[in-house]
Amino acid sequence: MGRRLISEWLGTFSLLATVVGSGIMAERLAGGNVAIALLGNTIPTGAILVVLITIFGPISGAHFNPAVTLSFALRKEISVQVSCLYVAAQVIGGIVGVFAAHIMFDNPLFDPSTTMRTGLGQWVGEFVATFGLVGTIMACLKARPDAVPMAVGLYITAAYWFTSSTSFANPAVTIARGFSDTFAGINPANVAAFVAVQLMAAALATGFFNWFLAEEPST
């Protein structure tokens, strides 16, 4: 269990260090071009997800995401107690990852975001992003488990651009990004609504894909 929790902590730490660090770097180099900055934030995020899921998947399952952990708990593939420990490791790892990015780029260590991300369009974007992410994982685990790292990385890369919220799709990521007044930040006042939508989408996606991917009964 210790190795599994360290895996979840370190993986989420690395994910947030990448998301926030690449956001800072992209914004500084883009010269005010928001599209270029978003692209510079998107590619490292998708790439690091492939790496992290590949190396940590055999240890903890590489959730790095309370919404994914909720899905596995609803399917009774992980106990409630272990789920709670996973979520704690993910949230703490994510926050420390943000602090590490701030240190690397000489930003204030504790720097709550002022970026407002709220409204129906943003919430629908988070629902679509999280629903699709859980569906991608469940479908890949059934059809081709070895493809999960690449599929998740590519899905998030795409969802950065086709969702209005730029696809947080992860409560731990959302909470941690509240601590960063940078390109990737979200105002702490907007975090609760994002997390609620993400968890609801994960639960509904789990139920839907359990039905959708069920084996046909023999006749």
pLDDT tens per residue across span 188-207: 999 999 999 999 999 999 99
If one counts every other C-beta atom within 10 angstroms of the C-beta of residue 82, the result is 16
Which pLDDT does position 215 carry in this prediction? 81
Which pLDDT does position 218 carry in this prediction? 66
Which pLDDT does position 219 carry in this prediction? 59
Residue ranges of domains in the chain = 2-211
Which pLDDT does position 216 carry in this prediction? 74
How far, in Å, CA of 160 to CA of 167, rounded? 5
How far, in Å, CA of 7 to CA of 59, rounded? 7
Q: Quote the pTM value.
A: 0.94
What percentage of the chain reaches a pLDDT higher than 90? 98
For 2-211, the fitting CATH number among 3.30.1490.390, 1.10.3720.10, 3.30.360.10, 1.20.1080.10 is 1.20.1080.10
Contacts of residue 218, Cβ cutoff 8 Å, sequence gap at least 6: none
Instruction: For the chain, state the CA radius of gyration.
Output: 17
Which pLDDT does position 30 carry in this prediction? 95
The phi and psi torsions of 21 (rounded to 5 degrees) equal: -60, -45
The b-or-e profile of 28-49 (16+ CB within 10 A means b, else e) is eebeeeeeebbebbbebbbebb
Task: Give the model confidence (pLDDT) of 16-65 as tens digits.
Answer: 999 999 999 999 999 999 999 999 999 999 999 999 999 999 999 999 99
Longest dimension (CA), the chain: 65
